[in-house]
Amino acid sequence: MSEQRKTGTKLDPAIWVDEYGDYLYNYAWSRVHSKQLAEDLVQDTFVSALNAMDSFRGESTVRTWMLSILRRKVVDHYRKKSTQNEKTTLSFESPFEDESGTKGHWIMERAPKDWQWQSGYPMRSKEFQSIMESCLSQLPEKWKSVFVLKVMEEIESSEICKEVGCTSSNFWVILHRARLQLRECIEKKWINE
Protein backbone atom coordinates (compact mmCIF):
# COMPACT_ATOMS: atom_id res chain seq x y z
CA MET A 1 0.00 0.00 0.00
CA SER A 2 1.31 3.45 -0.78
CA GLU A 3 2.33 5.97 1.89
CA GLN A 4 -0.19 8.57 0.83
CA ARG A 5 -3.06 6.46 -0.52
CA LYS A 6 -6.18 8.55 -0.52
CA THR A 7 -9.79 7.82 -1.33
CA GLY A 8 -10.95 10.69 -3.48
CA THR A 9 -9.85 13.80 -1.62
CA LYS A 10 -9.94 12.12 1.80
CA LEU A 11 -7.24 10.14 3.56
CA ASP A 12 -7.94 6.44 3.98
CA PRO A 13 -8.06 5.71 7.73
CA ALA A 14 -8.76 2.03 6.99
CA ILE A 15 -5.04 1.49 6.34
CA TRP A 16 -3.62 3.55 9.22
CA VAL A 17 -3.32 0.80 11.81
CA ASP A 18 -1.66 -1.61 9.37
CA GLU A 19 0.70 0.94 7.85
CA TYR A 20 1.59 3.14 10.83
CA GLY A 21 0.57 1.29 13.99
CA ASP A 22 3.85 -0.51 14.69
CA TYR A 23 5.98 2.51 13.86
CA LEU A 24 3.93 4.81 16.10
CA TYR A 25 3.82 2.24 18.92
CA ASN A 26 7.60 1.75 18.85
CA TYR A 27 8.12 5.50 18.92
CA ALA A 28 5.71 5.96 21.84
CA TRP A 29 7.10 3.03 23.81
CA SER A 30 10.66 4.32 23.43
CA ARG A 31 9.52 7.59 25.02
CA VAL A 32 7.22 6.40 27.82
CA HIS A 33 8.49 2.85 28.53
CA SER A 34 5.03 1.52 29.23
CA LYS A 35 3.16 -0.87 26.95
CA GLN A 36 -0.28 0.29 28.11
CA LEU A 37 0.55 3.99 27.92
CA ALA A 38 2.18 3.62 24.49
CA GLU A 39 -0.93 1.84 23.20
CA ASP A 40 -3.17 4.55 24.65
CA LEU A 41 -1.08 7.32 23.09
CA VAL A 42 -1.18 5.64 19.67
CA GLN A 43 -4.93 5.14 19.96
CA ASP A 44 -5.34 8.81 20.90
CA THR A 45 -3.16 9.70 17.90
CA PHE A 46 -5.44 7.79 15.53
CA VAL A 47 -8.54 9.44 17.03
CA SER A 48 -6.96 12.90 16.75
CA ALA A 49 -5.92 12.18 13.17
CA LEU A 50 -9.47 11.11 12.32
CA ASN A 51 -10.81 14.33 13.83
CA ALA A 52 -8.22 16.41 11.98
CA MET A 53 -8.39 14.73 8.56
CA ASP A 54 -9.77 17.85 6.92
CA SER A 55 -6.76 19.85 8.09
CA PHE A 56 -4.22 17.48 6.48
CA ARG A 57 -2.78 19.46 3.57
CA GLY A 58 -0.53 16.77 2.14
CA GLU A 59 2.64 18.85 2.66
CA SER A 60 4.18 15.88 4.50
CA THR A 61 3.65 12.15 4.42
CA VAL A 62 0.79 10.71 6.42
CA ARG A 63 3.30 8.98 8.69
CA THR A 64 5.11 12.26 9.41
CA TRP A 65 1.79 13.98 10.11
CA MET A 66 0.73 11.22 12.52
CA LEU A 67 4.14 11.25 14.18
CA SER A 68 3.78 14.97 14.84
CA ILE A 69 0.40 14.30 16.48
CA LEU A 70 1.94 11.52 18.59
CA ARG A 71 4.89 13.73 19.60
CA ARG A 72 2.40 16.28 20.88
CA LYS A 73 0.62 13.53 22.85
CA VAL A 74 3.95 12.49 24.44
CA VAL A 75 4.74 16.10 25.34
CA ASP A 76 1.26 16.52 26.83
CA HIS A 77 1.73 13.33 28.86
CA TYR A 78 4.98 14.58 30.37
CA ARG A 79 3.62 18.06 30.91
CA LYS A 80 0.69 16.65 32.89
CA LYS A 81 2.96 14.30 34.85
CA SER A 82 5.38 17.11 35.69
CA THR A 83 2.67 19.28 37.21
CA GLN A 84 1.43 16.57 39.57
CA ASN A 85 2.60 16.75 43.15
CA GLU A 86 5.89 14.96 43.35
CA LYS A 87 7.68 13.48 46.27
CA THR A 88 11.40 13.92 45.95
CA THR A 89 12.86 11.09 47.94
CA LEU A 90 16.13 10.52 46.18
CA SER A 91 19.28 8.84 47.31
CA PHE A 92 21.07 11.31 45.08
CA GLU A 93 24.01 13.13 46.56
CA SER A 94 25.94 15.87 44.84
CA PRO A 95 29.15 14.51 43.30
CA PHE A 96 30.87 17.88 43.77
CA GLU A 97 32.95 19.29 46.57
CA ASP A 98 31.30 21.91 48.75
CA GLU A 99 34.43 23.14 50.46
CA SER A 100 35.50 26.63 49.46
CA GLY A 101 38.88 25.73 47.94
CA THR A 102 37.57 22.82 45.89
CA LYS A 103 33.97 23.88 45.34
CA GLY A 104 32.66 22.61 42.01
CA HIS A 105 35.31 19.88 41.63
CA TRP A 106 34.41 16.19 41.53
CA ILE A 107 34.58 14.21 44.74
CA MET A 108 37.06 11.56 43.58
CA GLU A 109 34.93 8.58 44.64
CA ARG A 110 31.94 10.07 42.82
CA ALA A 111 33.67 11.23 39.63
CA PRO A 112 32.32 9.80 36.36
CA LYS A 113 33.51 6.29 35.55
CA ASP A 114 35.12 5.29 32.27
CA TRP A 115 32.32 3.85 30.13
CA GLN A 116 34.64 3.06 27.22
CA TRP A 117 35.45 -0.46 28.39
CA GLN A 118 31.79 -1.48 28.21
CA SER A 119 30.41 -3.18 25.11
CA GLY A 120 31.25 -1.51 21.81
CA TYR A 121 28.05 0.49 21.41
CA PRO A 122 26.28 0.80 24.76
CA MET A 123 23.37 2.81 23.33
CA ARG A 124 22.46 -0.21 21.21
CA SER A 125 22.78 -2.69 24.02
CA LYS A 126 19.50 -4.17 25.25
CA GLU A 127 21.01 -4.44 28.70
CA PHE A 128 21.85 -0.74 28.69
CA GLN A 129 18.37 0.19 27.45
CA SER A 130 16.79 -1.86 30.22
CA ILE A 131 18.95 -0.18 32.85
CA MET A 132 18.27 3.25 31.35
CA GLU A 133 14.52 2.61 31.58
CA SER A 134 14.89 1.52 35.19
CA CYS A 135 16.95 4.58 36.05
CA LEU A 136 14.52 6.93 34.28
CA SER A 137 11.66 5.45 36.29
CA GLN A 138 13.44 6.42 39.51
CA LEU A 139 13.57 10.11 38.64
CA PRO A 140 10.93 12.50 39.99
CA GLU A 141 8.29 13.04 37.29
CA LYS A 142 9.32 16.62 36.56
CA TRP A 143 12.97 15.62 36.15
CA LYS A 144 11.99 12.71 33.90
CA SER A 145 9.74 14.98 31.85
CA VAL A 146 12.45 17.59 31.34
CA PHE A 147 15.07 14.95 30.46
CA VAL A 148 12.88 13.05 27.98
CA LEU A 149 11.56 16.19 26.29
CA LYS A 150 15.00 17.79 25.95
CA VAL A 151 17.28 14.83 25.28
CA MET A 152 15.01 12.33 23.55
CA GLU A 153 12.41 14.56 21.91
CA GLU A 154 14.92 17.38 21.25
CA ILE A 155 12.35 20.05 22.03
CA GLU A 156 13.52 23.63 22.51
CA SER A 157 14.24 24.57 26.12
CA SER A 158 11.85 27.54 26.08
CA GLU A 159 8.98 25.32 24.94
CA ILE A 160 9.75 22.76 27.66
CA CYS A 161 9.72 25.53 30.27
CA LYS A 162 6.22 26.49 29.13
CA GLU A 163 5.05 22.86 29.09
CA VAL A 164 6.31 21.88 32.55
CA GLY A 165 5.89 25.30 34.16
CA CYS A 166 9.41 26.21 35.17
CA THR A 167 11.81 29.10 34.65
CA SER A 168 14.79 28.83 32.35
CA SER A 169 17.26 28.66 35.23
CA ASN A 170 15.14 26.04 37.02
CA PHE A 171 14.98 24.04 33.78
CA TRP A 172 18.78 23.84 33.55
CA VAL A 173 19.08 22.89 37.21
CA ILE A 174 16.51 20.10 36.75
CA LEU A 175 18.21 18.84 33.59
CA HIS A 176 21.62 18.89 35.29
CA ARG A 177 20.32 17.00 38.32
CA ALA A 178 18.49 14.47 36.14
CA ARG A 179 21.67 13.80 34.17
CA LEU A 180 23.71 13.39 37.35
CA GLN A 181 21.11 11.06 38.87
CA LEU A 182 20.96 8.99 35.68
CA ARG A 183 24.74 8.78 35.47
CA GLU A 184 24.96 7.64 39.08
CA CYS A 185 22.20 5.07 38.65
CA ILE A 186 23.64 3.70 35.39
CA GLU A 187 27.09 3.42 36.88
CA LYS A 188 25.76 1.54 39.92
CA LYS A 189 23.62 -0.85 37.89
CA TRP A 190 25.69 -1.30 34.75
CA ILE A 191 29.32 -0.35 35.11
CA ASN A 192 29.95 -1.32 38.73
CA GLU A 193 28.25 -4.73 38.48
Check residue 88 and give its pLDDT.
46
pTM, 2 dp: 0.54
State residue 191's pLDDT score: 63
Q: Is residue 34 part of a domain?
A: yes
User: Residue 1's pLDDT band (boundaries 50, 70, 90)?
Assistant: very low
- pLDDT at position 63 is 92
Q: What is the CATH number of the domain that holds 43?
A: 1.10.1740.10
User: What range defines the domain where residue 55 resides?
Assistant: 8-83
The per-residue pLDDT for 30 is 85
Does any domain span residue 2? Answer: no
CATH number reported for the structural domain that contains residue 159 in this entry: 1.10.10.10
Q: Kindly report, residue by residue over 117-169, the tens digit of the pLDDT.
A: 445 554 556 777 788 888 998 898 888 889 988 988 888 999 989 888 889 88
Contacts of 60-67 spanning 24+ positions with Cβ under 8 A: 61/3, 61/4, 62/3, 62/4, 62/11, 62/16, 62/19, 62/20, 63/3, 63/19, 63/20, 63/23, 66/16, 66/20, 66/24, 67/23, 67/24, 67/27
**Model pLDDT for residues 79-107, shown as the tens digit of each residue:** 787 666 554 444 455 555 555 555 555 55
110-114 average pLDDT score: 53
Number of domains observed in the structure of the chain: 2
